[in-house]
Chain A
Amino acid sequence: MDPECSRLLPALCAVLADPRQPVADDTCLEKLLDWFTTVTEAGSSLLLLQENPCLVELLFHVLKSQDLSSRILSFSLRLAGIFAAQEDCFQYLQQGELLPMLFGEAGPLGGAAWTAPAVRSGWIQGLRTLAQHPSALRLLAACGAVDTIFSLQGDSSLFVASAAGQLLVHILDLAMRGPAEGRCSPQACDWPACAQKIVCHIEDSLCSIATPQVTQALNVLTTVFGHCHGLWTQGLWVRLSPLVARLLEKDPVPASHSLVDLLLSVARSSVPSSDRGLWETLAQTLSHLSPTQAGPLALGILKLQDCPQALRTQAFGVLLQPLACVLEAAAQAPGPPGLLGGAAGDPMTVDTLLCSKSACVGLLCCALAHLGLLQPLPQRPSPWPQAPLLGAAVTVLRLCSGSAAPTSDVGGRLCAILVGCGRVQRAALDFLGALSQGAGPQESVTQVFSVLLEYLMSPESSSMVLKKAFQATLRWLLSSPKTPGCCDLDPRTQLFLRELLPVLQKRLCSPCWEVRDSGLEFLTQMTRHWGGQAGFRQALLASEVPELTKQLLQDPESYVRASAVTATGQLSSWGLLAAPASPERPGAQQSLLVELLHVLCADSEGFPRRAVMQVFTEWLRDGHADVAEDPERFVARVLQAASRDPDWEVRAQGLELALVFLGQLLGPRGSHCPCAVALPETAPPGALAQALPEAAPPGTLAQALPEAAPPGTLAQALQVLCRVQLFEFAFRALFDCDRPVAQKSCDLLLFLRAKAALCGSPQEAGDSPNVASVEATLQRWQAGEQGQPLGYLEPGAVMAVLRSIDLEGLRDTLAESSDHVEKSPQSLLQDMLAAVGVLGENEADCY
């Protein structure tokens, strides 16, 4: 331990032991415990206690003092646990009988303090920490702790009850690992007494008629099979499985959630390799539980790596049941075999669906969510009933929108329950989106698109439902197959687009900003993927969507403006926004670049400005036509605007843009000889577009850097960087009060310096007056006075300054978390002492 901390420790212990000086902040105690844990992990606890006797004194004092706060008591119990985790230290504390006094009947356990949940929790955590060696087991036996833990399982505080269960598992594991390790047989009769006692308790609880006790036992067992991997767990299951199976005979099955958790935990453990009976129990459970309870179990079974096919089929059947019932109820006429191969829907599931709205909604949402989770997994059941599932999802959506016209009685009642139910609509749309990963028969896909269109059109769709509908539509559109031999969209998709765009148009005018926002997001995504497809371009340009999107740059809601910025940026990248200026209003059609620059300079909210920076970075990277005209001027204007921005993310994005520009001038990071590199060599025109035909706008890639920055030496590149005032921006950012900005700038300058070193630096200007003044300014900036501008910089001066700044040192400092100074233990101890002192001063002030 740090000598300074050792020096402070006695005073701190005195403060902790003094009930008149309450510790105001609980987190200090937690930090203190963390620190002691670190210290004891690094060295001997015994030595620590011997060198700092105040700690043992504190523990003794706690025992004697009557009026200590419960938090100090709890803290002391946990502290004792940390020390006693090492066996020699445990023995040392035992000499003074300290541990039995702390954890036995004589301690807080028997006193009034026990009523505080914090004390009970501290007691459990203390024991949990110290129970690391056989001696601890003897202590537990001696002070009858296990019985207390049993009773704490039913504690009124959920934290205490849960910790008690975990402690039991830990003790059981320790007992079984202890002296008998290696030879502990699965036969329960040989088990140590402590383990026997716990297992008997679990057995009793499993047989109890009180559900809470059954739940406790099941939860303990779930943890056992989840965390303990010894052979003995197999023996434990052999011993307990009949009792677990007996639970299934009860109606209703008690603690079904916990039972499902346990069975899945056992199934994932090593037990199934030795006990095939487990599969039978699982099968029985599946058939005994109600449809709602059985869902999570079925999903768990299907996620298992290896389990018998029959059980998997049964489990899949359980998951499919609700949807099968819906399909059957809504069927107009007996059609092809549905989800369950023509078998009728389970009457119990139908009952659950019809008994109440909440039960119906709950069951359907779970079924849809479970199947949605299963869909992308490699171990999903095969064959996967894609077509009936599509049919079911569409039917559920139609029932919810009221557009289904079921003829059966059950269908009518389902319709009445589900109509307008947003929760089911959202779940079904998510599921439908997940199903887009698989193909489907033409007829089903047509139905999918028609139901999606219905939802997108319906005025009754809430904003959340619409968002999901947009997402599902996007997934289906992107997964729709390409026409063979043709790189354009297939005719069906084009037809759909023609219907979709007027809907999107209307949604962009919605009075609800969430709807406008999700409409724009959808448009952005669609354009990103299809901007180059002739069919899409044609349909989009024929609609008013691009014009409306541009108008939304003035939206009153900042999120919408941000999305509009991204969308227009994307549209413009693909040349989908360039409507010619109308002859009546010359000049009215100003370039989007100017508009976005205006947003960057004038928007009062951060989101749109961040979006602009992202769009600009993308434009620069992809060589957008407006940018390629004069990239130097573009970068200069953007950096100037970004440097003044109050939002650190905008400034950070500015650095990102600067980095892209650097990359274009000097070659990307990691390339070896980039001195004379200019863009044409790094990325020939169209190369990027060829490599990523759908990801980047073709033909818009910069042809070359403008004449101002021809391929040449590093010096020329630096000239360009100086002209765009990139250095002023980067140096300012280097001393930014927001760490990520400073870090990014540091990286950028390091990159630049490394490039320069590789290529041989330009003419040095080491001790010119310019350099000195720059350094002086930078020092002032570092001190927080950023008002003064840097003025025009010569490349030589820049390089000199770059070398003179300790960028590596700065990077290391920045890499430390901002509170690294405050986090030291010494600071913690000082703070705690100071806080008490401050409390005292405040009291004095009161007089």
Chain B
Amino acid sequence: MKLYCLSGHPTLPCNVLKFKSTTVMLDCGLDMTSTLNFLPLPLVQSPRLSNLPGWSLKDGNAFLDKELKECSGHVFVDSVPEFCLPETELIDLSTVDVILISNYHCMMALPYITEHTGFTGTVYATEPTVQIGRLLMEELVNFIERVPKAQSASLWKNKDIQRLLPSPLKDAVEVSTWRRCYTMQEVNSALSKIQLVGYSQKIELFGAVQVTPLSSGYALGSSNWIIQSHYEKVSYVSGSSLLTTHPQPMDQASLKNSDVLILTGLTQIPTANPDSMVGEFCSNLALTVRNGGNVLVPCYPSGVIYDLLECLYQYIDSAGLSSIPFYFISPVANSSLEFSQIFAEWLCHNKQTKVYLPEPPFPHAELIQTNKLKHYPSIHGDFSNDFRQPCVVFTGHPSLRFGDVVHFMELWGKSSLNTVIFTEPDFTYLEALAPYQPLAMKCIYCPIDTRLNFIQVSKLLKEVQPLHVVCPEQYTQPPPAQSRRMDLMIDCQPPAMSYRRAEVLALPFKRRYEKIEIMPELADSLVPMEIKPGVSLATVSAVLHTKDNKHVLQPPPRPAQPTGGKKRKRASDDIPDCKVLKPLLSGSIPVDQFVQTLEKHGFSDIKVEDTAKGHIVLLQEAETLIQIEEDSTHIICDNDEMLRVRLRDLVLKFLQKF
């Protein structure tokens, strides 16, 4: 059993598991932090961004000044943003049989895999995952495609040139694998390969293994996966949460008794408690708005935004913010808000019960009804007519490199009355802000990551007790910035096995058994014999048929009757000869009684010696030696076949035959 690790990002995993002749890809996350190296794509022409000076080498060589621009001491690539793909060379991806998706954030690389690697398999995911995943991809494609950029920079990627660049460009890894965003056509084609599944549904893969999605509590439709055969069980735990937010709670019990538990997608900010962060978010939002400032919340169009809107729903009246407009701007804003209301079966119990009242499960419906929350596909069109300040704007993309957020950063960045509040944990906020410096607006970092923290992981592992834990290397040591915080790493026994990008891991796990079925007629013909109480044995003569990873014992064909004359050999006649089998023996030989029997039969001068494995009975007169061991008995006599047969018969008296 092997694990091929194609992604180095612990929360955007992409691993391939080879297990019992199947090749299963676990998630295909897309690392978008690479976009932080690019200049933002402004929706409206930005003189500031277009007038940034080109970057030149120390010696004054300016051949890169078209590709690289300098802003407040940082260098950015002036090109269409590119993403860091999972490793494609480590394993032939056309051999991947299935892809299991855990949540909508972990499927963003899907079009790259399904459309460009020769992949012919099936993708499994839950319905909300697919629908919301589609929204995220659609938004991404839209953000990039609506700001066409003529230029595509590639010179800087040359290894010799990259060495000369300042950090972080110099240290960017795998730049040669960075790719531009996919198209909507590719998205549609990739999504068409997905087969929808429900929680706890058992899916057979070629008869060899069974895969089952379990609720992981992190997002709408998010799942962990069980991959098991009859005797082995691998659990794949991706983004999971034990907090009470909108999704169905995490199913922990089904993860018990795993041989291997692959653990990914823990919280990216283990020191920040989501509840405190929500409090911080609300306080800062209220403070800014009360002072007449605007609040910008860069976010994804789905996920934490639902919880934030719910908190604000409860908070705005008490904070005296009822008259402040909340805007949600995304090409998929409308779909996201509406989708969230229709996936009742995937929601937590409280929200499910609301559906029967009937009430919309999320209170943002009421915010929309009362005009407190308004949503728009883009800043163009209706929004510009309705726009009123001070206000709160939720919009993407959290990287601040594309999407409507770029416009608001340009618009509001110059006033210290305004605040940008970062709630998505995927991007370092200082890096995200780098191309907007110098910035007067206040920046608040309240990353809300509801995924498991290390304390919860430790409890989970104690609860489910896997034999082995496999996780990204980042989880086996404290974060570099807090190197003494031993509580910020996975602590389990035996220690977790770690992996990194482009590594192949042999899982410490041997398969011992295989299940074989017996045909009923064959089973009928068996005559079990009780060897000892509770244990019966029977000899089986059969033919082993193996097809689709299923093994079946069938009755042996009857010996071919000579049909006379016809000598033509047929394929079905080509079966091994079934010889008449000698009976099998069982039992043990009690040495004392055996010696007495020998004496009764006229042997004398018998000596018994104990050996490491059993006994040796010496018949000195007959110059014969009988070696009795646990699983064998040897009679060694010198060419006296008669004597050997006599002795053999005496030995056989003590053994059972069947």
Q: Which chain A residues lie closer than 8 Å to B485 at the CB level?
A: 402, 412, 415-416, 419
Q: Is the CB–CB distance between B318 and A555 below 8 Å?
A: yes
Give bound CA distance, A420 to B455, whole Å: 11
A187 sits at the interface (CB 8 A): no
B256 sits at the interface (CB 8 A): no
Contact pattern, B 263-289, Cβ under 8 Å of A = 1, otherwise 0: 000000001110011111011101100
B121: min CB distance to chain A, Å: 44
B196 sits at the interface (CB 8 A): no
Q: Is the CB–CB distance between B276 and A460 below 8 Å?
A: yes
Q: Is the CB–CB distance between B487 and A506 below 8 Å?
A: no
Contact pattern, A 373-416, Cβ under 8 Å of B = 1, otherwise 0: 00000000000000000000000000000100111000111011
Q: Which chain A residues lie closer than 8 Å to B276 at the CB level?
A: 459-461
Measured CB to CB, the nearest residue on chain A to B455 is A420
Give bound CA distance, A402 to B486, whole Å: 11
Of A419, A420, A459, A509, the contact of B287 (CB 8 Å cutoff): A509
Q: Is the CB–CB distance between A551 and B290 below 8 Å?
A: yes
Give bound CA distance, A505 to B271, whole Å: 24
Give bound CA distance, A511 to B321, whole Å: 12
Q: Is the CB–CB distance between A511 and B283 below 8 Å?
A: yes
B639 sits at the interface (CB 8 A): no
Give bound CA distance, A77 to B320, whole Å: 66
Q: Is the CB–CB distance between B286 and A509 below 8 Å?
A: yes
Measured CB to CB, the nearest residue on chain B to A502 is B287
For window 136-163 of A, CB contacts with B under 8 Å fall at none
Give bound CA distance, A75 to B276, whole Å: 57
Give bound CA distance, A153 to B271, whole Å: 52
A510 sits at the interface (CB 8 A): yes
Q: Which chain A residues lie closer than 8 Å to B315 at the CB level?
A: 511
Give bound CA distance, A416 to B487, whole Å: 5
A556 sits at the interface (CB 8 A): yes
Q: Which chain B residues lie closer than 8 Å to A460 at the CB level?
A: 271-273, 276
Give bound CA distance, A554 to B323, whole Å: 15
B537 sits at the interface (CB 8 A): no
Q: Is the CB–CB distance between A415 and B290 below 8 Å?
A: no
Give bound CA distance, A76 to B536, whole Å: 75
Q: Which chain A residues lie closer than 8 Å to B284 at the CB level?
A: 506, 509
Q: Is the CB–CB distance between B482 and A459 below 8 Å?
A: no
Of A417, A420, A509, A544, the contact of B283 (CB 8 Å cutoff): A509
Q: Which chain B residues lie closer than 8 Å to A802 at the CB level?
A: none
| Known A460-B272, A510-B283; contact A544-B486, beta-carbon cutoff 8 A | no
For window 545-578 of A, CB contacts with B under 8 Å fall at 547-548, 551, 554-557
Give bound CA distance, A551 to B290, whole Å: 10
Measured CB to CB, the nearest residue on chain B to A407 is B484
For window 516-535 of B, CB contacts with A under 8 Å fall at none
Q: Which chain B residues lie closer than 8 Å to A511 at the CB level?
A: 278-279, 282-283, 311, 314-315, 318-319
Measured CB to CB, the nearest residue on chain A to B454 is A416
Q: Is the CB–CB distance between A402 and B290 below 8 Å?
A: no
Task: Report the contact-size class of chain B (Cβ under 8 Å from the partner).
Answer: 20 to 34
For window 475-501 of B, CB contacts with A under 8 Å fall at 482, 484-487
Q: Is the CB–CB distance between A459 and B484 below 8 Å?
A: no
Q: Which chain B residues lie closer than 8 Å to A609 at the CB level?
A: none
Q: Which chain A residues lie closer than 8 Å to B548 at the CB level?
A: none
Give bound CA distance, A512 to B315, whole Å: 9
Of A415, A548, A556, the contact of B317 (CB 8 Å cutoff): A556
Q: Is the CB–CB distance between A554 and B320 below 8 Å?
A: yes
A421: min CB distance to chain B, Å: 11
B40: min CB distance to chain A, Å: 28
For window 367-425 of B, CB contacts with A under 8 Å fall at none
Q: Which chain A residues lie closer than 8 Å to B151 at the CB level?
A: none
Most buried by A among B314, B446, B484: B484
Q: Is the CB–CB distance between A406 and B283 below 8 Å?
A: no
Of A417, A512, A544, the contact of B291 (CB 8 Å cutoff): A544
Contact pattern, A 511-542, Cβ under 8 Å of B = 1, otherwise 0: 11001000000000000000000000000000
A208: min CB distance to chain B, Å: 40
A426 sits at the interface (CB 8 A): no
B425: min CB distance to chain A, Å: 14
Q: Is the CB–CB distance between A507 and B283 below 8 Å?
A: yes
Give bound CA distance, A419 to B486, whole Å: 11
| Known A551-B290, A555-B318, A557-B318; contact A509-B487, beta-carbon cutoff 8 A | no
Q: Is the CB–CB distance between B271 and A402 below 8 Å?
A: yes
A522: min CB distance to chain B, Å: 16
Q: Is the CB–CB distance between A412 and B319 below 8 Å?
A: no
Q: Is the CB–CB distance between B286 and A415 below 8 Å?
A: no
B11: min CB distance to chain A, Å: 21
Give bound CA distance, A674 to B256, whole Å: 86
B377: min CB distance to chain A, Å: 30
For window 418-451 of A, CB contacts with B under 8 Å fall at 419-420
Measured CB to CB, the nearest residue on chain B to A511 is B282
Measured CB to CB, the nearest residue on chain B to A547 is B290
For window 559-606 of B, CB contacts with A under 8 Å fall at none
Give bound CA distance, A420 to B287, whole Å: 26
Q: Which chain B residues lie closer than 8 Å to A419 at the CB level?
A: 485, 487
A831: min CB distance to chain B, Å: 50
Q: Is the CB–CB distance between B290 and A459 below 8 Å?
A: no
Measured CB to CB, the nearest residue on chain A to B278 is A511
Give bound CA distance, A413 to B491, whole Å: 13
Q: Is the CB–CB distance between B484 and A509 below 8 Å?
A: no
Give bound CA distance, A405 to B320, whole Å: 41
Give bound CA distance, A461 to B277, whole Å: 11
Measured CB to CB, the nearest residue on chain A to B483 is A405
A710: min CB distance to chain B, Å: 45
For window 424-449 of B, CB contacts with A under 8 Å fall at 446
Give bound CA distance, A506 to B273, whole Å: 18
Q: Which chain B residues lie closer than 8 Å to A402 at the CB level?
A: 271, 482, 485
Q: Which chain A residues lie closer than 8 Å to B317 at the CB level?
A: 556
Most buried by B among A405, A505, A506: A506
Give bound CA distance, A551 to B319, whole Å: 9
A463: min CB distance to chain B, Å: 9
Q: Is the CB–CB distance between A459 and B320 below 8 Å?
A: no
B103: min CB distance to chain A, Å: 26
Q: Which chain B residues lie closer than 8 Å to A510 at the CB level?
A: 279, 282-283
Give bound CA distance, A417 to B486, whole Å: 9
Measured CB to CB, the nearest residue on chain B to A548 is B290
Give bound CA distance, A512 to B319, whole Å: 11
Q: Is the CB–CB distance between A459 and B486 below 8 Å?
A: no
Give bound CA distance, A419 to B271, whole Å: 9
| Known A402-B271, A460-B276, A509-B283; contact A551-B320, beta-carbon cutoff 8 A | yes
| Known A551-B290, A555-B318; contact A506-B484, beta-carbon cutoff 8 A | no
Give bound CA distance, A557 to B314, whole Å: 13
Q: Is the CB–CB distance between A459 and B318 below 8 Å?
A: no
Give bound CA distance, A702 to B273, whole Å: 52
A512: min CB distance to chain B, Å: 6
| Known A459-B272, A511-B278, A554-B320; contact A413-B486, beta-carbon cutoff 8 A | yes
Q: Which chain A residues lie closer than 8 Å to B311 at the CB level?
A: 511
Of B278, B287, B314, B486, the contact of A416 (CB 8 Å cutoff): B486
Q: Which chain A residues lie closer than 8 Å to B318 at the CB level?
A: 511, 555-557
B306: min CB distance to chain A, Å: 17
| Known A416-B485, A505-B287, A544-B291; contact A459-B282, beta-carbon cutoff 8 A | no
Q: Is the CB–CB distance between B482 and A512 below 8 Å?
A: no
Q: Which chain B residues lie closer than 8 Å to A509 at the CB level?
A: 282-284, 286-287, 290, 319
Instruction: Knowing that A459-B446, A460-B273, A509-B287 touch, tell me 18 more A-B residue pairs with CB under 8 angstroms.
Output: A405-B482, A407-B484, A412-B485, A412-B486, A415-B485, A415-B486, A459-B273, A459-B279, A460-B276, A506-B284, A509-B282, A511-B282, A511-B311, A511-B314, A511-B318, A515-B279, A544-B290, A548-B290
Task: List, sorted by A's number, 18 A–B pairs whose CB atoms are closer than 8 Å.
Answer: A402-B482, A405-B482, A406-B484, A412-B486, A413-B486, A415-B486, A459-B276, A459-B446, A506-B284, A506-B287, A507-B283, A509-B286, A509-B290, A511-B315, A548-B287, A548-B290, A551-B290, A551-B320
Q: 5 closest Cβ contacts across the A-B interface? A: A416-B487, A459-B280, A509-B286, A459-B276, A511-B282
